[in-house]
Amino acid sequence: KSKGLLDDLRTFRWMTVPASSAKLAGIVILLWANWQVFTPNVPNPFTPLLFITHQIPISEVIKSNPSLAANNDVIRYQKGYGDILFLLFYIIVFSFLRQSTTIYIFKPFAAWWGIKNDRKRERFMEQGYSFLYWGSAGLFGIYVMSFQDSWWYQMEHLWVKYPHWMMRSELKVYYLLQFSYWMQQALVMLLRLEAPRKDYYELIAHHLVTLWLVGWSYLVNLTMIGTTVFVCMDVPDTFLAAAKGLNYLDLNNIATATFIVLMFIWTYFRIYLSAVTLYSVWYQFDLIPHFAREWNPRKGWWMIWWMKYQTFAPLFLLLLLNLFWYVLMWRVMYRAVQGSVGDVREDGEYDEE
């Protein structure tokens, strides 16, 4: 419950009270709209909060790649300090979306369905939001990847045209929204908005590795490989959230079928394609043009020799975490085929009523 907007700001309660996060977002939107109406000829300082910025001059885009002009595909963006403001605003937006969907959609649905156990109801609410986010992010990621030369893991294209600093609008929006989501999730863990699971420290490691990969890949112009990793993660998470949510609803047959499908999808995306990505980093890194193999941030070149290992290490750690959860999933498979798809990370956290 809100104790006033100022107090909610001071205590970070705005992350758990949808009314407060809505007020914060609304204030920004009103300030932006007010500026647009009353001073339309003056650059709006609130624009970087709501919209992506740092568009590259069209003449520079055409000079870099003349073929784009023929397709009228000349709108490109680069990274810049305005991106920080975008991240901050959408942390607020994701806080509002998370709490409003769990409280006003999934909580009433759980009560209507008859889920009486408080912890089980909370888990269902969390998985409902996760399903909405991962499903949307997975589809958006596939859409973004469809415009890239590396479409469906043609991995050599991650390197041959480096640096990938000219971004389509869809890519920049996708990347920054993902970054905002993971920053918001990190705050969720730090503030303990979700009950800790048995693998709490593994989840912390996963969040830290993910934040490092997202931020670093954006900084050093490796957004193409970042997109491939996002899709590897998000598609399986959609089915994981669905299987767990169905289990909390006691729809055991459907949950079992979904879980079996999940095992195939997890194997393909999080194990096989993650391994393919690691292989590419290790064996195809040298496809990077020679002129870009130096540390020259002004020109967007960051791929000095040791970056191969810096890129490989966190991706390898992420694969190990995926394998850790993969083993746990095989442990639950026996229960799945018997019609009880649980989450082994939650064993003992609630008792059925």
Residue 77 lies in a domain: no
Q: What is the pLDDT along the chain (353 residues), one digit of tens a residue?
A: 778 888 888 888 898 899 999 999 999 999 999 999 999 999 999 999 999 999 999 999 999 888 888 778 899 999 999 999 999 999 999 999 999 999 999 999 999 999 999 989 999 999 999 999 999 999 999 999 999 999 999 999 999 999 999 999 999 999 999 999 999 988 878 777 666 666 677 777 778 888 988 999 999 999 999 999 999 999 999 999 999 999 999 998 899 899 999 999 999 999 999 999 999 999 999 999 999 999 999 889 999 999 999 999 999 999 998 999 999 999 888 776 665 555 544 544 443 33
Residue 4 lies in a domain: no
Residue 55 lies in a domain: no
Instruction: State the SS3 of the chain.
Output: CCCCHHHHHHHCHHHCCHHHHHHHHHHHHHHHHHHHHHCCCCCCCCHHHHCCCCECCHHHHHHHCCHHHHCCCCCCECCCCHHHHHHHHHHHHHHHHHHHHHHHHHHHHHHHHCCCCHHHHHHHHHHHHHHHHHHHHHHHHHHHHCCCCCCCCCHHHHCCCCCCCCECHHHHHHHHHHHHHHHHHHHHHHCCCCCCCCCHHHHHHHHHHHHHHHHHHHHCCCHHHHHHHHHHHHHHHHHHHHHHHHHHCCCHHHHHHHHHHHHHHHHHHHHHHHHHHHHHHHHHHHHCCHHHCCCEHHHCECCCCCHHHHHHHHHHHHHHHHHHHHHHHHHHHHHHHCCCCCCHHHCCCCCCC
Residue 288 lies in a domain: yes
- DSSP string for 264-279: HHHIIIIIIIHHHHHH
Residue 50 lies in a domain: no
Q: What is the pTM of this model?
A: 0.91
Rounded CA-CA distance 170/285 in Å is 26
Residue 148 lies in a domain: yes
Amino acid (1-letter code) at residue 187: L
Nearest alpha carbon to residue 23 among 97, 92, 102:
92
Q: How many domains is the chain built from? A: 1
User: Structural domain of residue 195, as residue ranges?
Assistant: 85-341
Residue 23 lies in a domain: no
Residue 106 lies in a domain: yes
